[in-house]
Structure formats: C-alpha cells, structure tokens
C-alpha cells in the first residue's frame, strides 16, 4: 500500500516508519507535519491510506480529514497517543469519513514490533476493505429455533453504517422524537473499545436512550441498541440478540449484512432497513434481502454521504425503496412507521 503519515512529532513519524518497515508491501509516499500540509500533499499525490494524527498545529486531524474526504477522498486511519482523552474528536473525524482509530506505537529506540501489531492489523483490515475481497453474498449464520409461544415483537428499524457513520447517526437520531414507538438496532463499524464512548456520544444527540446491545437483549420500542463488540450482532430467535464470531472471514466486524439477514429471517414483525454512509459493500445484500421480503428500505444519498460506498452498492442492486439525504431520513421513518407499508414499495 502507498501510505502517508501526518504527524508533527519527528519521533512519532519515525516510530510509524519503523512499524511500516516490518511489512515490505507498505511504502511511505509522503509525510506532512500538519493538516494543512496534508490536504495539499494529498491533492498532489493521493495515497491508499493516511495515518492521521489528531492533535497538530495549523490544522488538526479532524479538519484535515473533513477537507481531504471532501476534495480527494481516501482511506484515513486515525493514530493517537491518548484515545480516551480524544473521544469526541475521534467521533467527529469518523463522522467526516475516517475509517478507524488505533493507539500510536511507542516512541523510542526499542523493538519496533512492540506496539506494532495493532497498527498493522488495522492497516490489513483497511487494505481488505479497499480491495473489497469479501464474499459476494452474506448470510446470518446458523439459525436457532424460535421460542415456542413467543409474543409477536414490535416493529424494528435496523440501521447499518461505517465511515462517516457517527455524524450521520447523530443527525438521524436527533430527528426522532422521545416517544418514537419502534425498536432500533444500529450496527456501526467501530472497534469495541470505542463502542461505549460512541453510545454515550450518540445519547447526547438523541432524545432516545442509546445503549450497548448485550448478549440476550430484546429490542424494544423507544430504545436504541448499538452493536458493542468486534463480533457480529444478530438475532438468534424472533426477538433475542446474540454475538457470533462466524463468519470469521468477514473484514466488516460487526457486519451489517449479518444483522440484516438475521432480521429478515427471524423478526416476525415489520422491519425498516436503513443503510448509511460507508466504504465497501457491507449491508447492501442484507438490505436487498429485506426489500425482496417486502420490507421498506432506505439508502443514504450520495450528496450527504461522507463515503458513498455501502449505500451506492445497495442502490446499484435495487435494494433501496427510497434514496434520501441524511437530514430527511428521520422524518421519513416517522412517516412510514405511522402507516401501513405495502410490500416492496413506498407507503
């Protein structure tokens, strides 16, 4: 991969160079000392991946991410020495299209392999995302028998998002009323160490409580559940959630497709599928399965998407009943869920 480094500390740059040198397939194509320089260098030579620091003079990593994703979009991995203290900045940058975040490797003259594993693992995942080498179809995994005599569940809004998702989700949830009478489950591509922080951050933008989905949880009206681990979240009965490592080959963890397919198969009530901004194709096949079964589906439009990958794939396979700007999706959810939706079409 052609990789760029954006960091104002020479020792931090050297630490990253030493990490990348452990993989001969990675090449550093340029280094920028601040966000402003990174925007200019990216316009001159767009890399496959940028390792972006958050805190820099002249222009920080959040604003640099916003400008790069607007003008010359490419994959961005945030690299920071203190993730806990920069949670809000991390989600802001991810809202602009950054794909993921990782702890900065240790600075010093020791073994470069110390602390390198996490960085290299994230780079490998992003390399697979860029190459999109996932299977062409997805399934929800082995089905578990439904519970005898289980009550008919409430309606469900199933939402999938990736790069750019935090900001899109905040906008969507902000538009829903506190008495929204439908269960909501969100699968966002985010490392599990940030899931709790993201649930808290989203709660600040939402009249509805946002909580981490726990093993055995039941989606219920007026409650937003967020996938909490790097394993896949899915329904294992008509109304019970669980986590599964399979399929292990999926680069998308947790996978939107896995959850959408499980909802399509096991949820007995009405489902509305929503696929938001993100790189790759995850969720497109699951959204198509929901529409083919007669459920209403929405894909975010290109103009409002930070990264028009996942919704674009869904639109290409006619998986979306409606393609809407993020600002209009909440109102549409309120509209369609107050009426009877005709199978395969708009209300």
Residue ranges of domains in the chain: 2-131, 156-336
DSSP 45: S
Q: Assess whether the region 2-131 and the region 156-336 belong to the same CATH fold.
A: yes
Pairing of strands 232-235, 241-244: antiparallel
Confidence of residue 35 (pLDDT cuts 50, 70, 90): very high
Instruction: Give yes or no for residue 203 having a pLDDT over 50.
Output: yes
The string of pLDDT tens digits covering residues 263-301 is 999 998 999 999 999 999 999 999 999 999 999 999 999
Pairing of strands 156-161, 75-80: unpaired
Is pLDDT larger for residue 252 or for residue 96? 96
Confidence of residue 86 (pLDDT cuts 50, 70, 90): confident
Active-site annotation, residues:
162, 189, 282
Instruction: Give yes or no for residue 344 having a pLDDT over 80.
Output: no
Instruction: Give yes or no for residue 79 having a pLDDT over 50.
Output: yes
156-336, which class in CATH?
A: alpha beta
Tokens at 144, concatenated: 């578990």
Residues 6+ apart with CB under 8 A from 193: 83
CATH topology assigned to domain 2-131: Rossmann fold (3.40.50)
Q: Determine the pLDDT at residue 109.
A: 55
Q: Determine the pLDDT at residue 339.
A: 52
Instruction: Give the distance between the most distant pair of CA atoms in the chain.
Output: 65
Burial 40-65 (b: 16+ CB within 10 A, else e): ebbeeebbbbbbbbbbbeebbbbbbb
Tell me the pLDDT of the chain averaged across its residues: 87
The string of pLDDT tens digits covering residues 230-261 is 899 999 987 899 999 988 888 888 999 999 99
The string of pLDDT tens digits covering residues 114-164 is 678 889 989 998 888 777 444 434 444 434 333 444 444 479 999 999 999
Confidence of residue 107 (pLDDT cuts 50, 70, 90): low
Instruction: Give yes or no for residue 63 having a pLDDT over 90.
Output: yes
Mean pLDDT of the 3-30 span: 94
Mean pLDDT of the 99-114 span: 73
């Amino acid at each position: 991969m052609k990789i760029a480094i954006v960091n104002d500390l020479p020792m931090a740059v050297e630490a990253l160079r030493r990490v990348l040198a452990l993989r001969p397939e990675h090449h550093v194509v340029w280094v920028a000392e601040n966000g402003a320089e990174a925007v200019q260098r990216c316009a001159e030579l767009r890399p496959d991946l940028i390792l972006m620091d958050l805190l820099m003079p002249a222009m920080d990593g959040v604003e640099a991410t916003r400008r790069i994703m607007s003008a010359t979009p490419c994959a961005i991995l945030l690299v920071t020495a203190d993730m806990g203290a920069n949670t809000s900045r991390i989600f802001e940058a991810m809202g602009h299209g950054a794909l993921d975040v990782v702890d900065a490797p240790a600075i010093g003259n020791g073994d470069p392999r110390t602390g390198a594993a996490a960085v290299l693992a994230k780079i490998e995942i992003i390399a697979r995302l860029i190459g999109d080498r996932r299977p062409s179809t997805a399934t929800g995994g082995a089905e578990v028998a439904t519970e005898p005599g289980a009550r008919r569940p409430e309606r469900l809004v199933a939402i999938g998002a990736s790069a750019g998702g935090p900001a899109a989700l905040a906008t969507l949830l902000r538009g829903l009323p506190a008495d929204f009478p439908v269960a909501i489950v969100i699968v966002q591509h985010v490392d599990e160490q940030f899931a709790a922080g993201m649930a808290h951050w989203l709660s600040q933008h939402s009249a509805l409580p946002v909580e981490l989905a726990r093993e055995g949880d039941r989606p219920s009206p007026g409650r937003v559940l967020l996938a909490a681990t790097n394993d896949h979240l899915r329904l294992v009965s008509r109304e019970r959630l669980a986590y599964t490592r399979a399929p292990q080959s999926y680069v998308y963890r947790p996978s939107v497709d896995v959850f959408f397919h499980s909802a399509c198969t096991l949820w007995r009530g009405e489902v509305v599928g929503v696929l938001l901004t993100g790189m790759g194709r995850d969720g497109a096949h699951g959204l198509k399965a929901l529409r083919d079964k007669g459920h209403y589906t929405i894909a975010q439009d290109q103009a409002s998407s930070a990264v028009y990958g996942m919704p674009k794939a869904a639109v290409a396979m006619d998986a979306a009943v409606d393609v809407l700007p993020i600002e209009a999706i909440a109102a549409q959810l309120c509209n369609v869920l107050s009426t009877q939706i005709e199978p395969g079409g708009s209300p």
